[in-house]
Structure 1
Amino acid sequence: MKVSIFSDCHCGFAYGEERGEDSFIALNESIEKSMDSDLILIAGDLFDSRVPRPEIFAKTARILSKAQHIPTNTKLVDLVNKRKEDISPLALRGVPIVSIHGTHERRTKYMVNPIQALEHAGLLIHLHCGTAVFDVNGEKVAVHGMSGVPERYAGDVLSRWNPRPIEGAKNILMIHQSVDPYIYSPLDPPTIKLEDFPDGFDLYILGHIHWTEQKPLKSGTILVAGSTTYTSLHKHEMNAKKSIYKYDGSLLSIPLEKQRNIYWSEFDFSSDIVPMIESKLNSLPNIEPKPIAVFKIKGIVPKEMTMPNFSELENRYSGKAIVKITKKLKAEKLEEQIELINKLREQKLSPEEQGLRILQENLKQVNCGLNVEEMFEMLVNGETENIYNLLIGKKSE
């Protein structure tokens, strides 16, 4: 039996924006590359939101339905903790798709999430703490699935579920969580460790993490399935192309070809930061689809320098690349202002007196010879036009 595996398609990500079709292109390629498989597994976050727009749901459903037109000998032969009447006969036509829901699709207990809606439409089989056993020409595979739950409950949910391998079958355990050491966000720490996985499974599939890895685990192998499209851009995602996987007892990575190239640069802030970024952007190849150019800038902006207009750069090169500039900068001016405000607070001055001192300090830094108290009075009275005229040296009429 050949099983196709992918995860975290995030259909609908950036919908209506320049990258709005990327998730659908990736899903379509993933399904097309799975046409020679007997079974398709999706390890959560097929959608990017809990309640996708009808247009997003329809596009996703249309792509998934392609799997139903490929003849196979795959048969569903048993279920554990899953009602047979919940599964439409339509979901067993062609190449069956088994999916768990992820964190982006999770809704409260009595509300239908989009993966359940796809199951109701006959496009897939949804698992949560349940097992589906399939047969292909006498070879059995048991898919055990635990959908995404809040991290603080995940360890208890896995422990209570306590899945057991099915004798005489290839056993695949699929979950969508952070699992130590694979942590999606340190703000939401995991309650599952690798050693908490039950023994006896041939393959453990981990969704939720957007980069990929595979290594031995207990009696089998763990596959961190990664994602099929770029959402938030992380450096460790740049090291390998987005892929799907084929499993027939061993794993084979199948790269997705219709992906945007990612170019990653990191700079310390300096006076020539704009020319440095321009040089990188000018060196990019003219290709379709447009690449994504990511720039990470850190450092301190000297008080005598004006912050560059990075938005103008992003717009100017928008015909060549999707430019993302993220800044982790501190301004010397800002640090001085914070120090000044702290001193003023300690002096317990009135708000008006604090404002006057701050204005006085700012005008001193730009060597302004205007009367500070007169200007402050104008500010209090809302005479902004007169202040502007004073600053540019224009006489009042």
Structure 2
Amino acid sequence: MTAGIAYAIPAGVLLATTLIKLAALVRNPRDVFLRSICAVLAVAFLVFATAAPPVLRVINDLSGIPNLAAPLVYCVLTAFSGSSIVLLIYWRDGDTDSTRRSTRLCLGAYGVVVVALWVLFILGDAPVERLRDLDTYYASTPFIREMILLYLLAHTIAAVTMTLLCWRWSRQVRGALRASLLTVAAGSVLAFGYDILKVIAIVARWTGANFDWLSTDAAFAIAAVSAVLTGVGFLIPTVSQGAMSRWRTGRHYHALRPLWTELRPEIPPTSAAPLPWWSSTDLRLLQRERDIHDALLRLAPHCDRTTAQRAYQSALEAGRSPAASCLEADAAVITAAIVAKTRTAPPLAPPDRWTVKSADTAIGLIRLSLVLRHSPLVAQAQQKGPSPRRTKEPSP
């Protein structure tokens, strides 16, 4: 795997994550938390996009200054460290006066670090271009050495802070948020490991040993995994909420199938054809609910009050609650109305009609559909059709 590709993989993951969050930010432009997470992910992407050796060479060549790309990458990494802490503060505490004060303090501190990095680079002397091993090659060079240690210190503080905050908060929550925090914490632990390996390689240079591979190979591998874990961790709540929403919508859509199938002959011929399976489940559910309501309107003149009373009393005698008995009465009325219309029975007079109140809400439609599938009273109504007699209206 070439160096460019090795950097491109985590950069691509972070870019995709950033674009997903940006889409959410477009829909909620005033969400401070979304703005913070977009900033963190975008800066993390820039870390890997600018740290790739081919990109470093281009920056150095365009500027005409050997190793100018180094402090640029260190500054981007420092910005990532500061923005990560800010994100977690907003995530945990929300947009409050205390949060804004903590944010200003954090950004101010890391801003000072960024300025110091450039000052140290200007004061130092790094004439030999190093694309992969600058940290160890200049480990003993005055001012350049301090620049390297400063960026590692800033990154270490952020990694430790993120780990501790995520771990403590994860013990107070459950579900997707807990999984998200633990994943981000794991990424932060690896980020701390990156700093440790870098420091070991630098100290080794001070003692005359050569552990450069820890800095150039091992540390980079850990940083790549850390970046992916952090990006995934921030995505978990969004993905989980979206998946749960689609799952609930799909369940509701399929739960309405018995009622929709029963009413299908009564759906107006002018209604649109059912949407294909690849369409949005939300749209398909909306269409199914609309078809059911349209069909019920066409059946309304044949919904018999007497049939409802008979089914309601039978359900009560079978031990059902009043609410469950009303559902069974509505289901039986619908079935009997379909039979009556099939037999070309004349419409009922308004006083003899029954209003299917269970269809007033989405959850009522689902319960009605389930009753339609399982209730023995529905089967009886299908066999007998509407009652020829009138009785008193049920009082649920």
Q: Same fold (TM over 0.5)?
A: no
TM-score of the superposed pair, with normalisation by structure 2:
0.22
More strand by share: 1
TM-score of the superposed pair, with normalisation by structure 1:
0.22
Which structure: larger Rg? 2
